[in-house]
């Protein structure tokens, strides 16, 4: 497997799209060690009511997240971008250990350093219970969303 190119600011429309897809693919790996490498050593996050600081706290946060959010599948979509910032909207589906399914909707604001590492991430997320029959994200997991799988469905 070839190593993907490092995408650094300033972003263009094309590189912002690539950065969003790279983040989606990494998160769909559900590998906290891999995902944490995309962030600066002193990264600062807001994720719901948690405020991890630093790569190690992010890694621990992600390990807890994916131990709780089972069969996680995520889709991200570019909302807008600037020189060193990207905003995305996202949806992901998961179930808890009792088998109840959820679709989580949210927005993220990202800020990058000159090496292309994320130094700041702010996420607002809402969870909605769904029936398993209402799921929209199907692909072998963990792993990236196939290129022919649709992105985020229309507004609900």
Average pLDDT, the chain: 95
Asked if the model's pLDDT at residue 32 lies above 60, the reply is: yes
Specify the pLDDT at position 4: 64
* In the block, residue with structure tokens 């009792």: 98
Average pLDDT over residues 66-89: 98
Specify the pLDDT at position 155: 44
Q: Which residue, among 33, 109, 101, has the nearest Cα to 72 in the 3D structure?
A: 101
Tokens coding 122: 């702010």
**CB of 106 within 8 A of CB of 124?**
yes
Other C-beta atoms lying within 10 Å of the C-beta of residue 147:
6
Q: With a threshold of 0.75, does the pTM exceed it? A: yes
**CATH 3.10.450.50 at 13-134, yes or no:** yes
pLDDT-derived band at 41 (thresholds 50, 70, 90) equals very high
């Amino acid at each position: 497997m070839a190593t993907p190119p490092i995408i650094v600011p300033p972003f263009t429309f094309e590189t912002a799209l690539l950065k969003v897809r790279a983040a989606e693919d990494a998160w769909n790996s559900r590998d906290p060690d891999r995902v944490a490498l995309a962030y600066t050593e002193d990264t600062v996050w807001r994720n719901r009511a948690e405020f991890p600081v630093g790569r190690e706290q992010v890694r621990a946060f992600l390990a807890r997240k994916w131990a709780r959010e089972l069969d996680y599948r995520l889709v991200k979509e570019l909302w807008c971008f600037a020189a060193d910032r990207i905003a995305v909207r996202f949806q992901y589906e998961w179930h808890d250990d009792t088998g109840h399914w959820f679709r989580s909707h949210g927005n993220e604001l990202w800020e990058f350093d000159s090496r292309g590492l994320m130094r700041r991430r702010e996420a607002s997320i809402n969870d909605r219970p769904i029936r398993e029959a209402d799921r929209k994200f199907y692909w072998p997991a963990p792993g990236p969303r196939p290129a022919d799988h649709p992105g985020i469905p229309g507004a609900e």
